[in-house]
Structure 1
Amino acid sequence: MEQRAHFTKRMEELKVQVLRMASMAETAAQNAIKGLLENNCDLAEEVIMNDIKINELECDLDKFNIELLALGQPMARDLRFIVGAMRITSNLERIGDEAVNLAHRTVFLSTRPPLPYNQMLEQMSDVSKDMISRSVKSFADEDVALASQVCGMDNEADSLNIRILKELITNMVSETRLVERGVHSIMASNHLERIADQATNIAESVIFIVQGENVKHDCRG
């Protein structure tokens, strides 16, 4: 009984630490997006410098999860939670990486004249932020319905990314002086789309944890 109580406590600690990492990754993405939209180089540099903290926490959680698997010998839902947590920490680390990539685009673009306002890029930013927020909340609350909503939003992110690509290419063809900045803006949109993908992956893991159902690739419609 005492051993089970200790294992339960460690599982609770795992969830707390994953949510801590989620908060760090979400903040990194939000700041990277804010830096991009506001052409804020200082904020972008802050995102780049803070990424090491996310990486370090991922390493700590990997070790924690391996210890739980080896010592706790979990079964059924406990095993799914640990496996799901391992997937989610990997997704969160990648969100941090994409935030850094986005920040690097901002650092470059801040040295050039600003491009015309792009409403779709701002819309894409909002969708990506919303997907991260909902996916994290679905994990915290173990809410399958909310996780499914995130999965459904992935198509919107993909569609916006394609529309942004087409618009920027059209602009670059008509004005060659925009090519360099246009390419970096296209890459920024790609980073936002990848952030949305990682949020979808988190949502898929939540469904796996709660229902034991592997919806990977299927829940994107």
Structure 2
Amino acid sequence: MPRIHFQQQLAELKDKLLAMAALAQQGVDSAIDAYLQRDQTLCLYVKQNETAINTAQRELDEMAYELLAKEQPMAIDLRFILAVIKINGDLERIGDQSLGIARRTRDIMKTEDYELPVDYSAMGECAGRMIRTAILSLLEGDARIADSVREMDDEIDRMNRAAQADLLKLIQDKPQYTQQAMNGMMVSRSLERIADHAANIATDVIFWIRGADVRHQLSLSMD
């Protein structure tokens, strides 16, 4: 009976993590839409959503640490709880980055509108796809799906490098739009960081399932 109860607690922990992941995904989608549409209402929603994510993070951490202390799990159950704690942190940081995009959007709305030479819609789609796939790998407990998330990271890295270069050139060619370009550079960087956190989540799923630490295996390809 105690073992059954423990497995039920693990299932509840996973459900709470998936609910938090859904909040993080909503925050990213709304932040991107807020930026593309210059929507103040969506910016406010992202801020409220980030507050909800912070609350969920505290509750999840408390539950996970309590399970570690009381149940002293072994093997794959221990790895799962440790992965939950790390994934929880990455989801909270995704919320922070989404809020950063919303803040940049508000700043942009105070300046003259200028179409920047960056496909933020494509960057947002890439980051969003990585989060959705990482969450799916967690839901299914499938390390192969998690592998595919880590492979996607190179794509958005390339997009961010191109965006930074194009926006720097814009500043040099049209310095009157420096403020817009600087905000655009920060939005691009935030999307790249969101993708990094999605890759981290995938890495933690791999650790949970395979017991393998693959954090630095892609370091050569990213140089």
Give the TM interval when normalised to the shorter protein.
Answer: over 0.9
SS state of the match for residue 13, structure 1? Answer: helix
Q: More deviation in 103-112 or 80-89? A: 103-112
The aligned residue for residue 188 of structure 2 is 189
- Aligned partner letter, 2:190: H
Q: Which runs of 5+ in 2 are unaligned?
A: none
Percent of pairs identical after alignment?
Answer: 34
Q: When the two structures are aligned, how many residues end up with a matched partner?
A: 220
Alignment deviations for residues 59-109 of structure 1 (CA, whole Å, 9 cap, x no partner): 011110111101111000000000000000000000000000010001111
The aligned residue for residue 108 of structure 1 is 107
The aligned residue for residue 175 of structure 1 is 174
Judge conservation of contact 1:99–1:191 (CA < 8 Å) in 2. Answer: yes
Is 2:124 aligned against 1:125? yes
- Aligned partner letter, 1:82: I
Judge conservation of contact 2:23–2:49 (CA < 8 Å) in 1. Answer: no
The TM-score with structure 1 as length reference comes to: 0.96
Separation of aligned partners in 2, 1:50 and 1:142: 27
Cα deviation for residue 183 of structure 1 reads: 0.2
The TM-score with structure 2 as length reference comes to: 0.95
Separation of aligned partners in 2, 1:97 and 1:143: 27
- Aligned partner letter, 2:213: N
Cα deviation for residue 217 of structure 1 reads: 2.2
SS state of the match for residue 119, structure 2? Answer: helix
The aligned residue for residue 137 of structure 1 is 136
Judge conservation of contact 2:31–2:99 (CA < 8 Å) in 1. Answer: yes
Cα deviation for residue 50 of structure 1 reads: 2.4
- Aligned partner letter, 1:31: S
Q: More deviation in 110-119 or 204-213? A: 110-119
Separation of aligned partners in 1, 2:55 and 2:159: 33
- Taking only aligned residues, the RMSD between alpha carbons, in angstroms, comes to 1.1
Separation of aligned partners in 2, 1:123 and 1:115: 18
Separation of aligned partners in 2, 1:138 and 1:17: 16
Q: Which runs of 5+ in 1 are unaligned?
A: none
Cα deviation for residue 205 of structure 1 reads: 0.4
Spell out the pairing of 1:1-221 with structure 2 (5 A cutoff).
2-116=1-115, 118-219=117-218, 221=221
- Aligned partner letter, 2:169: T
